[in-house]
Structure 1
């Protein structure tokens, strides 16, 4: 008789639900092989099954302290035992230790479920500094969010740190190349992609990006070589299908792009995105399939009724038919052409300034035009950037001033704008450093309180008082920042939906505008409009990403 003999007996007893016998046999296996951590863990598992959670944890602690400290899964088992004993603080500590020390991530799905439970029980999210089995992935998602928000310089800085720490993290390298590309740093972008393809020659994101770079360099031979390879590629993953579709569109292979966009429209995950219908419409239009293009733009309008983009292109198609021009070429960007944007800027500058602040694709196109547009376009962009006025704009203008071949008059215009922005920033800093702003309470006005009451009515009756206080504090903070210029709160349902949506975002819970619209009996476009207004005051810019799908790579 040896440890294997008793192990087999224990397993047979488990199959018959004879836990007492199974425990006895596992104890014997431990006696024969005391240095084998698996036997100890099996014994701990039986103790947990029979409800002896404290005994199970004593065994698991013995494994970590005396037998094998690398058995990091013991921390996860201990977290389960603590949770069953309703010792949620201890469970949280054990779970954090597991996430920060376990290299394999065997129980990641279960750990995420437990974090949700602990969030509910402790009324606060579990704070994890890093997840060892996902080294660099949390930081990468933060960088992707920055990239998708149009904060290219910040994204590049974070991605550079990730690549230095994790050289084999190819998704981070690909997104770093895109950050450089959007900033106009083409040499660095191309070198980064070449590094990716050296590590993995068949990397689809890398190949697509490289083909675009060859087009930028007017390297027709290398571009065609890659295009021919990509044209016969049929990706399996939907993200790769999207990447290939957008790349073929940029490269002028519109029929190939249209085929891939149509594949995506058949997928439920993508077919509610108005920007995808715009991309499909553009590919169809540029391929000469005008009826199909019109159909896709009408669907885009249906999904995004506030957007002027579908109406603009449908009107352009109508003019084309009336003038019998015969062809029409359209940009894939989900925004109006530059000339049209600037015309509208003159008519309604404030509205379009807000759109440029919140739409990363428009911002990236401005930065692009600042480096590569015609002189009159560059001057318009400089004047426009003065209205957007944020850190990314200042960085772009500073880089523009360092360009050796730029026109002196354009540099003077950029310098004046930059000086104005820096002056405004200094005044803002002085105001923020001054006396604390007055706190505004919702019960000061019946309409302010009505917004809060509507949110409380829509919330689950089991919602704890902490969440309600959190909602009240968010609404009070919003009103305080507006005071004394608080607008007339007429649409209390719209504001209530925006408040609940924003609070959920801050807690990491993702609602859709449609869910909020159904809950409050209003349209999704109304929810979106009020959410944007709250974002603009509360500083949560970038939350509304509908209508924009940059070419970043997920993990």
Structure 2
């Protein structure tokens, strides 16, 4: 009896930890049984526990729509498309359906058309066509005009640029230009896309093409001045800026563009002249415009007006960081402004982005210069070769301080695969580290490499770099590697995006996974690339 009591006193109650996947599967079961309210609760819990998983949002949105909560459903779908940066075409169709149920037929038509543009062979194309027919019958309206389709197509391309899908944006804009050869906005955005991709000759070529056909195109002139300045062609940029001082635009959009361009070049008087001239137009509810105007006021000595603009911007964008930062700095007498302040971001964010970009480039160059690709391929070829010469080579590799830390971990793992009792150590900056067991992270990484090879991916500098970055990221979050196929697909997609480009749907089909699963893993990898060592 005493033993039983003693045993009971030694018992420990371990909490049963559930992640979002558990609740998601329970939600699916409830949904299949048509218990929508219970399904909704489970899906909401899944989203709360794993807010990075777009599939959970989509299923919650579907359930809300069936419960008649169309507005909330669209909020979740919009979050997938905008906040999470996922381009899941079905979301557009579901949003179109929801808008139709709410009687918002113009919005329903726009989103149904967007869905068919993004996924012309998609699962719901026939349903989308039926929905459009129904809308036209209900409203007595005609299908989208050519001008409306042009606007939708351009917004789609701009969305691709904002989401970083530059190769896709380039194709969309080129297609728009083929169909509408005098649609100058598409040309200007195509030039910007080329510039972001470091295709500088192509970017300048597009702008010159605009100016040959439409010599007074103000957006092209402003973009050309900025391109020249960023490419170090300072004299040419200065000449263009001087010529822009003689321009007197009428349209508010042109005045906004001209004012912000002058601001970039520290021509604050001209910036203030044009930005202040449109302060009674619709821009007055745009926090970015109010910030630009405030910077121009502050730079020209009109501090009270600047403070008023930043206060108004804070009211419009209460969750933003820009206006509070500038208000605090100005009120404490610490603020100075230059051309770099004509961006709707606080200065430390801009510096951080530049640091991240520089750090990313440095890390990639280090991988390329260090021939890590060759070393990684060679290490994988040595796997399973138990010869004495092979073992000595792997041990020597582990003992070289200059080798990449992840590759040394791979070498140590291979040695322990041959003999788990073998004494293995890795040389690090702070001394020798004994490796006593095989690493599950390295085992996962090697499996990911195998999956990449099986699907035809070349283990080049890009793939090697992304694989190494993923392995480093997994040290702090090993759950990243729980789906080897999805991670391999994400590495392949990002590597191809840096070269010839590939759609998420193509890669997802190649690896046999869903687009949403691929998209979520791409976001993990992109977050890893943004780290600063």
- Shorter-chain TM-score: what band? 0.3 to 0.5
Q: Which has the higher contact order (CA 8 A, sep 6+)?
A: 1
TM-score by length of 1: 0.40
TM-score by length of 2: 0.42
